[in-house]
Amino acid sequence: MPDSPTIDELLARPREDKLVLQFSTAAPDWRKRTPGFCKRWPISMAFNKNWASGLIRRANHSPFSHVDMLLKDGSLLGASDSPNSPFIHGNPRGVAQRPFDYQQFAYRRQMILETPRADDIRRMAATQLNKGFDNSGLRDFVNDSFPGQRDWRLEEHWFCAELCVWAMEVGGFWGTKQLIWPRNRVSPTDLILVLLMDPRFVNRDTFWHPVPGLVLGPNET
């Protein structure tokens, strides 16, 4: 089997004008012989290995807990604390390039953005490979501190949506402007809301439909 292409090789391919963001959440991963009543929230936090996904979804009233960037070969680039999941390059406990099916998913939906800066955005995200995962981002999902208490643009470690928004900013998606952000963290749902009425979101009408051609996993809708 040939070696997987490096990030530099992927980014050197012909330029594209589409940026694809994949929003997802992990499928429940119950411990063996978990009784049915233990699968109810919040008791499930003690038995579901992916309990953080449920916490993020509930804190944001959303079906999604994660977002990755789709690369040109179909692999994913993002920030995730997934030490036991397969990866291609980078830090398995942080920013890495991962196979398209690196974990079991409950939901996957793809947002297609038309922008001439798509390659620049992917390139900037790739500069953060090997950085660690930002656990402080998780804590801020249940924090009501006034904006400005935490700088999510530190570039030392990343939460998934923070990495995407930062790469879009420095990659020129919004020109030379930074977002004036009224929160101490960025969630996948925040990113959807920021882009919901953006005319560059070209598949808005079909975003909630399953990804065309995607073979769904055993616990996926």
pLDDT reported for residue 2: 47
Rg (CA), the chain: 17
Q: What is the Cα 6 distance to its own chain's centre?
A: 20
For the domain made up of 7-206, the CATH class stated in words is alpha beta
pLDDT in tens, 144-173: 677 777 788 878 899 999 999 999 999 999
pLDDT in tens, 65-89: 999 999 999 999 999 998 888 999 9
CA distance 90 to 131: 8
pLDDT in tens, 5-57: 566 666 666 668 999 999 999 887 656 666 765 556 665 556 656 667 777 77
Residue 63, pLDDT > 60, answer: yes
pTM, full prediction: 0.85
What does the DSSP assignment read for 7-73?
HHHHHTSPP-SEEEEEEEEEPP-BPTT--GGGGSTTGGGGTBTTHHHHHHHHHHTSS--EEEEEPTT
pLDDT reported for residue 61: 82
46 burial (CB, 10 Å; 0-12 / 13-18 / 19+) is exposed
Asked if residues 159 and 166 have their Cβ atoms less than 8 Å apart, the reply is no
